[in-house]
Chains A and B, each alone.
Chain A
Amino acid sequence: MQEGRALADRQINRDLLHTIFTHPKWQWGLIAFFGIIVLGAMCAAGYMFNRGLGVSGLNRPVMWGFFITNFVFWIGISHAGVMLSAILRLSKAEWRRPATRAAEVLTVFSLMTAMLMPLIHAGRPWRVFYWVFPFDWARGVYPNVRSALIWDPSAVFTYLTSSTLFVYIALLPDLAVIRDRSTGIRRQIYSVLALGWRGNPRQWKLQIIAGVLLSALILPVFVSVHSIVSFDFSMAIAVKSWHSTIFPPYFVIGAVHSGVAAVVIVMAVMRWLYGWQEYIRPEHFDALGRLLVVVATGWFFFFVLEFFFGLYSLEADEIAVKDFLSAQAPWSWWFITFVGTTYFIPVGMWLFKGVRRNPGLMIIACISVNIGMWLERFLIIVPGLAQKQVMNFTYFTYAPSVVEVVIVIGTFALVCMLMLLFAKVFPLIPLYDIKEGEIARDEIQIGRRKVPAVLREE
């Protein structure tokens, strides 16, 4: 049996646009709540700019800590958008339809948030322009293209530009729908944004071509972004546990793992918040759950290889880091938590169909994944630095200061706030995509049984 009932276009418009045309108080309350946390984080960052990085918990062997961990984490989350939209669009997976917009928007916002991190972690954040933009801002010296830290902003900004375009192109038909239903100044704004969309065949054709082209072009960017983030670590020969050839694919698959999990969280939350049970159905969570099992298992294979090769080397420094990480308290507790929450707990849950089809349990499993993936990045970065190697005369560990913790919490609030604000002005589920899916829905009668089917243009 086909899940969910057939929906008429008019009802789809009404259901998905009510977030824009109605103004319940709780929405503003939530936005204000996250806004206050963001404000707090901004104050903390301001304090840090004023006093210097001394207010963080960083020290001499451990030069990178919470900020870089958070940077890698948010870059990881941003991989969900393309993973779901582009790959599933190219592979024509039907269940992608309600998930794409939320995933893409999450990509854009988490990328913005991620890029804040290396900027505020710099010693002199007011001078980062000649680092971040490949142009001779100062003294006629171009940035050093050999540095992985130059590849980073270039890749991230390319990804940000292309994913913003991706969101915008998919948004065009929906903007026109809103334009036609609004009045006054809002109508004018949406008119400008909709770029004169009339929905004629030529425009649809162009929109589809642009979508497919961007999907295909964005894929190399998507892979390159996290590879380059991993190069920040794997290119460094001085930190033995960072210098590992598996890092690029290991980071990318980890990013997909945490990113898809984050999309599941967003979907479950918006289903509950905006009452979209008809659109985001258990079957979608089921499909995402299965995808996550595969991704998680691939990730686990890479994790095992990475860990194992630290020991394989028989090199004392390398083994010392792995020993420090997995056998010495308190790190060993974090390590066990990380492995459990990233793989064993969620995958154990996802093996059951009942869990995969239950949004509440899916949220729990996916939050577990994201806790684990945050810890993963932390456990890659900090123990490697703390137990660097032979010439590291002053071994020391690292504990974050309050300022760092507040800023990290602030980034989570920032993404939540931006998502809510987006939902206030644009539909978080693509209207046209759902309508297209309704047209493509079909059934095949085989004997007494009806098998769900899709109509496909070739």
Chain B
Amino acid sequence: MAQRKPHKWGMIVDIDKCTGCQACVVACQAENNVQLNTEDRFHERRPIEWIHIQRYWEVPEEYRSRPEDAPFQDIKARFLPVLCQHCENAPCEPVCPVYATYHNDQGLNVQVYNRCVGTRYCANNCPYQVRFFNYWEPVWPDRMRNQLNPDVTVRSRGIMEKCSFCIQRLRRGERQVEAAEGGELNDRALAEGNFAPACVQACPTGSLIFGDYTDPDGQLSQYVAVDEDTNEKVLKDDRAYQLLKNIGTEPNVIYLKKIDPRRTGEGGHG
């Protein structure tokens, strides 16, 4: 096998483009054999959503202290897709007693289902709350059995799972590119969209962008660069931010702020 190019996978989430349609959630559910979130699961508060859309209602500044008085047309729905942030400095990793979760050399926080014994310590120590525990053995109705993705393990009960950045697609893409070109994996292949994670592929507005930070010509390069010396990410876009940056987890998922038409004066229905 040819020497692989080093990668640093990451994702950009453009909040401005997100409509909260939940297509990513459904795509993820189907791609990764995530168990069915039935009504019962929601009542038990044990749904599993590797990516989920958090919805917030935003009122104008002057109504912060008494949101119930805000005129309805000024109340804005805000959507925040949250998935595993694949932190460079992940709090979930050191606490796992059996090394079921660790950081790989491509910047991914990976979960080894076979090793997991289900202490759930990682979930406690995840500030983003994106680790999920299989409380029950997953079951699918017979008619959905054939829908399961053969590339992805069906997780048994008693273990943790979480977003993998669709690592099975990355691996398949690597194999395809290597077979076709006999060479390295590159972002040109990525640009063709043949191995983006399912959520990225499904997003109708293109608010999710997946790519390689280290590729200077890649899709992420206009938002973020990697400092040669410190190997840290430098955010180039002034809309860019990271969730809970202050606790120093160094997430690999970068968010782009909502553009508020009222503040920027770009018009809109305000």
Q: Do chains A and B touch in the complex (CB under 8 A)?
A: yes
A147 adjacent to B95 (CB under 8 Å): yes
Q: A64-B120, A123-B117 are in contact. Are A52 and B97 (CB under 8 A)?
A: no
Q: Would you list the 5 A-B pairs with minimal beta carbon distance, nearest first?
A: A123-B118, A123-B158, A59-B45, A149-B97, A52-B157
Chain B residues with CB under 8 Å of A131's CB are 97-98, 117, 119
Contact indicator B44/A54 (Cβ below 8 Å): yes
Most A CB within 10 A of own CB, among B82, B124, B128, B244: B124
Binds A, one of B20-28, B59-67, B133-141, B173-181: B133-141
Q: Which of B3-55 contact A (CB under 8 A)?
A: 44-47, 52, 54
> Number of contact residues on A: which range applies?
35 or more
> Which residues of B sit under 8 angstroms from A385, Cβ to Cβ?
124
Contact code string B116-147 (vs A, CB < 8 Å = 1, else 0): 11111101111111001111110000000000
Q: Are B117 and A122 in contact (CB under 8 A)?
A: yes
Answer yes or no: A53 CB below 8 A from chain B CBs.
Answer: yes
Q: Does B91 count as interface, using CB distance less than 8 angstroms?
A: yes
A394 interface contact, C-beta 8 A: yes
Q: Who on chain B is nearest to A119 by CB?
A: B117
Q: Are A63 and B117 in contact (CB under 8 A)?
A: no
Contacts of B116 in A (CB 8 A): 123-124
Contact of B121 among A138, A149, A391 (CB under 8 A): A149
**Chain B residues bordering chain A, tally (CB within 8 A):** 42
B159 at the interface (CB under 8 A from A): yes
Write the nearest CB–CB distance from A246 to chain B, whole angstroms. 19
Q: Which of A54, A147, A149, A235 lies in contact with B136, CB distance below 8 A? A: A54
Instruction: State which of A64, A125, A143, A396 has its C-beta within 8 Å of the C-beta of B98.
Output: A143
Q: Which of A123, A124, A388 gathers the greatest number of chain B CB atoms within 10 Å?
A: A123
Contact (Cβ within 8 A) B124 A236? yes
Residue ranges of B at the interface with A (Cβ–Cβ < 8 Å) = 44-47, 52, 54, 82, 91, 94-99, 115-121, 123-129, 132-137, 156-160, 243-244, 247
Contact A147 B124 (CB under 8 A): no
Chain A: minimal CB distance from B124 (Å): 5
A52 touches B129 (CB 8 A): no
Say which residue of B94, B98, B135, B156 sits within 8 Å of A54 (CB atoms): B135
* Min CB–CB distance B162 → chain A (angstroms): 12
Interface string of A137-156 (1 = CB under 8 A from B): 01101011011111000000
Q: A53-B118, A54-B157, A124-B117 are in contact. List 10 more A-B contacts (CB 8 A).
A: A59-B46, A123-B134, A124-B116, A141-B98, A148-B121, A149-B97, A150-B97, A235-B95, A238-B91, A393-B54
* A8 interface residue per 8 A CB criterion: no
Q: A340 in the interface, Cβ–Cβ < 8 Å?
A: no
Across the interface, do A232 and B121 meet the contact criterion of CB distance under 8 Å? yes
Contacts of B46 in A (CB 8 A): 54, 59-60
A375 located at the interface, meaning its Cβ lies under 8 Å from any Cβ of chain B in the complex: no
CA distance A51 to B52 in the complex (A): 27
CB contacts (< 8 Å) of B243 on chain A: these are 391
Residues of A within 8 A of B (CB): 51-54, 56, 58-61, 63-64, 118, 121-125, 127-128, 130-131, 138-139, 141, 143-144, 146-150, 232, 235-239, 385, 388-394, 396
Given contacts A148-B95, A393-B54, whether A118 and B119 have CB atoms under 8 Å apart is: yes
Contacts of B157 in A (CB 8 A): 52-54, 123
* Cα–Cα distance between A53 and B125 once the two chains are bound (Å): 20
A347 to B121, CA, bound (A): 36
List chain A residues, Cβ under 8 A from B244.
390-391
CA–CA, A286 to B134, complex, Å? 52
Instruction: Assess whether B99 is in contact with A238, with CB atoms less than 8 Å apart.
Output: no
How far, in Å, is A151 (CB) from chain B's closest CB?
9
Q: How far is the CA of A388 from the CA of B129 in the complex (A)?
A: 9
Q: How far is the CB of A362 from chain B (nearest CB, A)?
A: 38
Q: Is the beta-carbon distance between B120 and A63 smaller than 8 angstroms? A: yes
B136: A residues at CB distance < 8 A: 51-52, 54
B100 to chain A, nearest CB (A): 9
The minimal Cβ–Cβ distance linking B231 to chain A, given in whole angstroms, is: 21
Q: Which of B91, B117, B156 contacts A237 (CB 8 A)?
A: B91
The answer on a CB contact under 8 Å between B129 and A124 is no
- Shortest Cβ distance from B97 into chain A, in angstroms? 4
- B117–A59 contact, CB under 8 A? no
CB pair B115–A147 under 8 Å, yes or no, is no
Q: Assess the B129–A147 pair: CB atoms within 8 A.
A: no
Q: Shortest CB–CB separation between residue B233 and chain A, in angstroms?
A: 20
Q: Are A60 and B120 in contact (CB under 8 A)?
A: no
* CB of B163 to closest CB in A, whole Å: 14
In the assembled complex, which residues on chain A have CB atoms less than 8 Å from the CB atom of B54? Answer: 393
Q: A389 touching B127 by the CB < 8 A rule?
A: yes
Cα distance, A328 to B134, chains bound together (Å): 31
Instruction: State in angstroms the CA–CA spacing of A186 and B137 once bound together.
Output: 50
**Can you name 27 A-B residue pairings with CB atoms under 8 Å?**
A52-B134, A52-B135, A52-B137, A52-B157, A54-B46, A54-B135, A58-B133, A60-B45, A60-B132, A63-B133, A122-B117, A123-B117, A123-B120, A131-B98, A131-B117, A138-B115, A143-B98, A144-B94, A147-B94, A149-B97, A150-B97, A236-B125, A238-B127, A385-B124, A391-B82, A391-B244, A394-B129
CA distance A141 to B112 in the complex (A): 12
Q: Is the CB of A393 within 8 A of B126?
A: no
Closest to B82 in A: A391
Check B121–A147 contact: CB distance below 8 A: yes
On whether the beta carbons of A146 and B47 are closer than 8 Å, the reply is no
CA of A61 to CA of B133, assembled, Å: 10
Is the CB–CB distance between A393 and B52 below 8 Å? yes
| Minimum C-beta distance from A234 to chain B (A) | 11
Contact A58 B135 (CB under 8 A): yes
Which A residues touch B135, using CB under 8 A? 52-54, 56, 58
Q: Separation in Å of the A43 CB from the closest CB of chain B?
A: 19
Complex: chain A residue closest to B156, CB-CB: A124
| Given A149-B97, A237-B247, A124 and B121 contact (CB-CB distance below 8 Å) | no
Bound CA–CA A239/B158 (angstroms): 22
Alpha-carbon distance A298/B178, docked complex (angstroms):
67
Which residues does chain A contribute within 8 Å of B94, judged by CB atoms? 144, 146-147
What's the nearest-Cβ distance from chain B to residue A70, in Å? Answer: 15
Q: Which of B91, B117, B120, B247 contacts A127 (CB 8 A)?
A: B117
Q: Is the pair A143, B97 in contact by a Cβ cutoff of 8 Å?
A: yes
